[in-house]
Amino acid sequence: MTEYTKPLPKADPVTAPFWESLKREKIEVQRCDDCEAHIFYPRALCPHCSSRRLKWTPVSGRGRIYTLTIVHKAPGPAFKADAPYVVALVELDEGCRMMTNIVDAPADPDHVRIGMPVEIVYHHVTDDVTLPKFRPVVRAEA
């Protein structure tokens, strides 16, 4: 296996449960006990209502593309071979948004569109880090 040279996230005490959940292939985010919002990225307080009562909660891993860009000029050598590739903001069905890559689809605005339903794929990029990527939801029956 070749060495992974792309930037890796370094968890902090508040965000660690998110990264740990991905390693188990179960995505969890915080949910506010007071205003009931799912929040992302993880915090010590709810950015909507300032409550400290946040609870780690499994979410579906499904959502829709809120917006995207197709990167032709990569930010550095580690991503160069991947270009063009899709960086997107995905809005989870539970309401919070996260950045990700859209995979298993052509990096083409005719194939990857705003509003498109997507689902999580777990990319175990190193022994310690699993990144949440998303792919278009394909209907089972032809």
Partner 1 sequence: MPTRQAAVVGVAESDEIGVVPNKSTLQLQGEAVLNALDDAGLALRDVDGLFTAGFRTTEVAEYLGIHPRYYDGTHVGGSSFVVHLGHAAAAIASGRIEVALIVHGESGRSRVGLPASASSAQGMEGQFENPYGMPGAPGAYSMACARHMHQYGTTDRQLAEIAVAARQWARLNPRAFKRDPLTIEEVLASPYVSWPFRKLDCCLVTDAAGAVVVTSVERARDLKKAPVRVLGWGEGHDHQIISQMPDVTSGPGRISGPDAFAMAGVKHADVDVAEVYDSFTYTVLTSLEDLGFCRKGEGGDFVSGGRIAPGGDFPLNTSGGGLSYTHPGMFGIFTIIECIRQLRGDFRGQGLRQVADAKIGLVHGTGGKLSATGTAILAAD
Task: State which H helix or E strand residue 118 sits in.
Answer: strand 117-124
> What does 103 bind: partner 1, Zn ion, none (CB cut-off 5 to 8 Å by kind)?
none
The amino acid that residue 50 corresponds to is S
Of the candidates 25, 36, 82, 104, which one interacts with partner 1 according to CB under 8 A? 82
Task: State which H helix or E strand residue 98 sits in.
Answer: strand 97-102
Task: State which H helix or E strand residue 16 sits in.
Answer: helix 16-23
| Stretch in the footprint of partner 1 (CB under 8 A) among 22-30, 55-63, 95-103 | 95-103
Q: Is the dihedral of CA 30, 36, 37, 38 positive or negative?
A: positive
DSSP string, 28-85: EEEEETTT--EESS--SS-TTT--S-EEEEE--SEEEEEEEEEESS-SSHHHHTT-SE
**According to the binding rule CB under 8 A, does residue 124 interact with partner 1?**
no
**According to the binding rule CB under 5 A, does residue 51 interact with Zn ion?**
yes
CA distance 131 to 58: 16
**According to the binding rule CB under 8 A, does residue 57 interact with partner 1?**
no
Beta bridge partners of 135: 119
**According to the binding rule CB under 8 A, does residue 6 interact with partner 1?**
yes
Of the candidates 114, 124, 128, 137, which one interacts with partner 1 according to CB under 8 A? 114
**According to the binding rule CB under 8 A, does residue 97 interact with partner 1?**
yes
- 72 or 139, CB closer to partner 1? 72
**According to the binding rule CB under 8 A, does residue 106 interact with partner 1?**
no
**According to the binding rule CB under 5 A, does residue 49 interact with Zn ion?**
yes
List contacts with partner 1 (CB under 8 A): 6-12, 15, 41, 66-75, 78-79, 82, 84-85, 87-89, 97-101, 109, 114-115, 129, 131
